[in-house]
């Protein structure tokens, strides 16, 4: 459940030229070859046509806004194909952070209910919901990207609830994935216990320790925005993400530093 009154749905989507022009201005997409940029814009165009964009709480969605969202959501699936994001239709944009009603269970089975303020949410039963100001902020390369985060959750949900274990491609080992991710997750949790607030100064957002699902989504953000820290600290996980996303982001971005 989410709150707010919906505004008008998006009218005509961005043109191919508009997508290419906007892609060229996004630091997040730096390092892509000319062929990759064309393929990315084409995929973003498919999402702009096939997904339904709605504005909430009075927000009117423009073609430029659709371009920004679709270019960012296309990047993780650039080499996976549009089918990777099938099964859901709607993207809801809010003019700011939004409120959702959450349910959670404590050890022992006690169920609680309360409101949470979010900037992004990927729902198993449908839409991706995003704060537009945070979408705009995500187009840089600061290691933080709400669109990629929620798309990672959607990929994780292709085989059920998000749990940090998305369906793997042929040739990828489930056992090796489990081993590498569990080891990195345990290491990061131990690091937070040792360093406390000082851990916030590192490249990896402490929110990654919330759950295996959030660890996968936050490290996916890092993979596309600041892969050097990921490759240095968790090389096995970096290799898993190279295989999963079928992209070597460190190689692509290394020449830009």
Tens digit of pLDDT at every position of the chain (257 positions): 344 444 555 556 899 999 999 999 999 999 999 999 999 999 999 999 999 999 999 999 999 999 999 999 999 999 999 999 999 999 999 999 877 766 656 666 666 576 677 889 999 988 999 999 999 999 888 889 999 999 999 999 999 999 999 999 999 999 999 999 999 999 999 999 987 656 566 889 999 999 999 999 999 999 999 999 999 999 999 999 999 999 999 999 886 75
pLDDT of residue 4: 42
* Class of residue 113 by CB neighbours under 10 A (exposed 0-12, middle 13-18, buried 19+): exposed
pLDDT of residue 43: 97
Cα atoms in the 13 Å half-sphere on the side-chain side of 251: 7
Please answer whether residues 41 and 20 qualify as being in contact, where contact means their C-beta atoms are separated by less than 8 angstroms. yes
The tokens of 215 are what?
Answer: 């660890």
Structural domains for the chain: 6-153 (1.10.472.150), 174-256 (3.40.390.10)
pTM for this entry: 0.90
Contact between residue 65 and residue 131 where contact means Cβ atoms under 8 Å apart: no
E strands within the chain? 6-9, 52-56, 90-94, 98-105, 111-118, 120-122, 128-131
């Amino acid at each position: 459940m989410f709150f707010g009154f919906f505004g008008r749905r998006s009218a005509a989507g961005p043109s191919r030229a508009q997508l290419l022009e906007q892609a060229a201005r996004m630091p997040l997409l730096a390092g892509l070859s000319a062929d990759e940029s064309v393929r990315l814009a084409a995929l973003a165009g498919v999402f702009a046509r096939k997904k339904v964009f709605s504005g909430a709480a009075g927000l009117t969605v423009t073609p430029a806004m659709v371009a920004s969202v679709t270019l960012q959501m296309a990047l993780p699936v650039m080499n996976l194909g549009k089918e990777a994001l099938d099964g859901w239709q709607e993207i809801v944009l809010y003019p700011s952070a939004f409120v959702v009603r959450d349910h959670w269970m404590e050890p022992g089975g006690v169920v609680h209910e309360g409101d949470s303020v979010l900037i992004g949410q990927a729902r198993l039963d449908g839409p991706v919901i995003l704060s537009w100001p945070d979408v705009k902020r995500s187009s840089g390369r600061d290691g933080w990207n709400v669109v990629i985060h929620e798309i990672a959750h959607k990929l994780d949900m292709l085989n059920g609830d998000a749990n940090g274990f998305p369906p793997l491609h042929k040739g990828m080992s489930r056992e090796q994935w489990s081993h590498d991710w569990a080891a990195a997750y345990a290491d990061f949790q131990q690091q937070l216990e040792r360093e406390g607030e000082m851990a916030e100064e590192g490249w990896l957002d402490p929110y990654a320790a919330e759950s295996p699902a959030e660890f996968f989504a936050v490290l996916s953000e890092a993979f596309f925005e600041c892969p050097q820290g990921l490759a240095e600290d968790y090389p096995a996980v970096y290799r898993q993400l190279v295989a999963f996303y079928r992209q070597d982001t460190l190689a692509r971005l290394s020449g830009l530093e």
